[in-house]
Amino acid sequence: MAIEHADVLRAAHLARVGLSEDEATGYVDDLSRILKMVDQLQAVDTQDIIPLAHPLDATQRLRPDEVTEHSQRERFQACAPAVTDGLYLVPRVVE
Amino acid sequence: MHDKTLTELAAGLQAGEFSSRELCQSALDRIQRLDGDLNSFISVTTEQALADADAADQARAAGDAAALAGLPLALKDIFCTQGVRTSCGSKMLDSFVAPYDATVVEKIRQAGGVSLGKTNMDEFAMGSSNENSFYGPVKNPWDLSAVPGGSSGGSAAAVAAGLVPAALGTDTGGSIRQPAAFCGITGLKPTYGRVSRYGMVAYASSLDQGGPMARTAADCALLLETIAGHDVRDSTSVARVVPDYSAELDTSLAGLKIGLPKEYFGDGLDPEVETAVREAIKVYESLGAKVCEVSLPHTHLAIPAYYVIAPAEASSNLSRYDGVRFGHRCEDPTDLEDLYKRTRAEGFGEEVKRRILIGTHTLSEGFFDAYYLKAQQVRRLIRQDFLDAFDEVDVLMGPTAPTPAFDLGAQKDPVSMYLQDIYTIAVNLAGIPGISVPAGFAGNRPVGLQVLAPHFAEAQLLGVAHQFQQATDWHLKRPAFGKEMA
């Protein structure tokens, strides 16, 4: 399956990666070649094969629903670009 | 001192031939003098290292030396280190000082190991040449015009150049084994789940695994028994006893059944690499092993399946870099969407963006079944190939990479770069362990022999590699680079 200019822009928007029209053009060729290589998968008969999500076929382990972490807000916010009063700052969302 | 293995240095410390401070200072001097040419380190943590070395010397004097007490090593800059920048080779994390230690870092520390710093790598571990680093490419100490391999290229180059006796790397599609092969060192990718991924910056979570890179299999055994084991903070780490790998190195090879996957000796394999690998296999035969051909019929589908699964997982994992909680943030965002989009456009390099876009596309509405589910189905077939082969043989052997290290700048097309990982990538899809062992040269560049074993058979893998190193001296060869400096 080829990828077109509009597909690249759509993926870039979904991934929230800023891409100009020109930059998107630059990716069309690369991504098309990658997908062409990937398309070899389509030739394989995989009917009735269960998808393998985990190499050991393990499922997520559960633990008792108990509090195990204590609040370390200041420590973890020390590496944030902008905080005030313990809150992360972002551009105003609601006027 | 820089020619010695971890095991030899441990004996020297124990015998009082030198102190950890002397050892670490000498390694730090070497880094300072030589790493300008290699670029294998992103951060060198001199003060912390010397303080840790002093603490190790004191512990030893008090009769309380742990397994790695006072031994210098380096950490790929993908492992979170409290109070030290953890960049993952990316502008996105250039200013990120981790607020906690990765589990493996904690374990190394508890065992007395002294980290000298954080090694260079392909950005977010995406690459096979270490040319995708925000901090510039790493050079191969065997030939400064060659790449060291990737993504753990800094770790491999630093060990090969004798800057450190050992380092930790990570391997998602070959990122420990291929640079180990290119730089003439020993590198082990453990079974998925053997080593905790907690605090290891995530690329593709169902494939990523940390492991040791060192001069010898014996050193890898020492490191693996330190870092392996169950961790409640990584739900995919496996609750299974960690064997005493060092104690099992001397198991005889008599009767060992070695399978040579015919798909690993086909088109595209460099003839000099093939010759070196076949010579290595003859050594095993002389040690009493039996060799036969096997088939892994879905090998050609490993790279296509990987380039769906890994980018899909990466596009999800890397969504956390939003410019809000940590890492890079663009200047003066006009609104939230502008904040996200410009932060990510500025913070990620080309290859990372390429994989995020591929992953986002293949997971998006209308494409998910055709790509992602299909790739996961093929992943099961690939794993089954290995399970079937291990019904017949104990281990598999072949080249680690189809060519020796290529020149810097030689691989311009992403797809041809991806094809470099043809012999390593299926191993991550199957989750089995693999090791690369020095096995000769193609011209002036090292060749790696790859040995693969069933899930959790690291002890066997390390023993098989160790026996080879008792019979050969490829692992003792050192590059001319840095030789003049003691």
Q: What is the ipTM, given to two decimal places?
A: 0.95
Whether the CB-CB separation of B278 and B440 falls below 8 Å is answered with no
The verdict on residue B246 lying in a domain is yes
The whole-angstrom separation of Cα B317 and Cα B90 is 15
Whichever domain contains B24, its CATH number is 3.90.1300.10
Active site residue B19: no
Whether the CB-CB separation of B361 and B222 falls below 8 Å is answered with no
B258 by DSSP, 3-state: which?
strand
The verdict on residue B410 lying in a domain is no
The verdict on residue B363 lying in a domain is no
Task: Pick from A3, A5, A7, A16 the residue to mutate for testing the B interface (most B CBs within 10 Å).
Answer: A16
Active site residue B76: yes
B72 by DSSP, 3-state: which?
strand
Partners of residue A15 in chain B, C-beta under 8 Å: 315, 319, 344, 356-357, 360
Partners of residue A84 in chain B, C-beta under 8 Å: none
The DSSP bridge pattern shows strands B114-119 and B41-44 to be antiparallel
Asked if B91 is an interface residue toward chain A (Cβ–Cβ < 8 A), one would say: no
Q: Is B319 exposed, middle or buried (0-12, 13-18, 19+ CB in 10 A)?
A: middle
Q: Specify the residue for token string 């397994």.
A: B67
Task: Take residue B338 and report the two structure tokens written for it.
Answer: 């502008």
Q: Is B332 exposed, middle or buried (0-12, 13-18, 19+ CB in 10 A)?
A: exposed
The verdict on residue B64 lying in a domain is yes
The verdict on residue B354 lying in a domain is no
The verdict on residue B483 lying in a domain is no
What is the enclosing helix (H) or strand (E) of B21?
helix B20-38
Asked if B206 is an interface residue toward chain A (Cβ–Cβ < 8 A), one would say: yes
The DSSP bridge pattern shows strands B186-189 and B209-214 to be antiparallel
The whole-angstrom separation of Cα B389 and Cα B384 is 8
* Domains contained in chain B, number: 1
The whole-angstrom separation of Cα B164 and Cα B213 is 10
Q: Specify the residue for token string 């008090």.
A: B62
Q: CB A44 to CB B375 under 8 A?
A: no
Partners of residue A18 in chain B, C-beta under 8 Å: 341-342, 344-345
Q: How many Å separate Cα B426 from the centre of its chain?
A: 15
Task: Take residue B178 and report the two structure tokens written for it.
Answer: 């291929």
Q: How far is B360 from chain A (nearest CA, A)?
A: 6
DSSP string, B404-421: SPPBTT---SHHHHHGGG
Asked if B348 is an interface residue toward chain A (Cβ–Cβ < 8 A), one would say: yes
Partners of residue B315 in chain A, C-beta under 8 Å: 15
Residue type, B142: W
Catalytic site residue from B76, B107, B118, B139: B76
Most distant CA atoms of chain A, gap in Å: 57
DSSP B41: E
Nearest CA in chain A to B96: A79
The verdict on residue B212 lying in a domain is yes
Q: Specify the residue for token string 């460099």.
A: B270
Active site residue B364: no
The whole-angstrom separation of Cα A56 and Cα A82 is 41
Catalytic site residue from B19, B151, B196, B246: B151
Task: Give the one of B99, B344, B373 whose C-beta lies nearest to A51's C-beta.
Answer: B373
Nearest CA in chain B to A60: B235
Residue type, B266: G
* Structural domain range at position B231: 6-252+435-476
Digit-by-digit pLDDT tens for chain B (486 residues) are: 889 999 999 999 999 999 999 999 999 999 999 999 999 999 999 999 999 999 999 999 999 999 999 999 999 999 999 999 999 999 999 999 999 999 999 999 999 999 999 999 999 999 999 999 999 999 999 999 999 999 999 999 999 999 999 999 999 999 999 999 999 999 999 999 999 999 999 999 999 999 999 999 999 999 999 999 999 999 999 999 999 999 999 989 999 999 999 999 998 999 999 999 999 999 999 999 999 999 999 999 999 999 999 999 999 999 999 999 999 999 999 999 999 999 999 999 999 999 999 999 999 999 999 999 999 999 999 999 999 999 999 999 999 999 999 999 999 899 999 999 999 999 999 999 999 999 999 999 999 999 999 999 999 999 999 999 999 999 999 999 998 765
Q: Specify the residue for token string 């990620």.
A: B348
Residue type, B82: Q
What is the enclosing helix (H) or strand (E) of B293?
strand B290-294
Task: Take residue B171 and report the two structure tokens written for it.
Answer: 């391997």
Partners of residue B193 in chain A, C-beta under 8 Å: 55-56, 58
The verdict on residue B186 lying in a domain is yes
Task: Pick from B357, B371, B429 the residue to mutate for testing the A interface (most A CBs within 10 Å).
Answer: B357
- Domains of chain A, each with CATH number or no CATH: 1-43 (1.10.20)
Q: Specify the residue for token string 């990538």.
A: B425
- Residue B114 neighbours by CB under 8 Å, 6+ apart: B20, B24, B49, B52, B53, B56, B70, B71, B72, B73
**C-alpha separations of B454 from B216, B429, B467 in Å:** 21, 13, 19
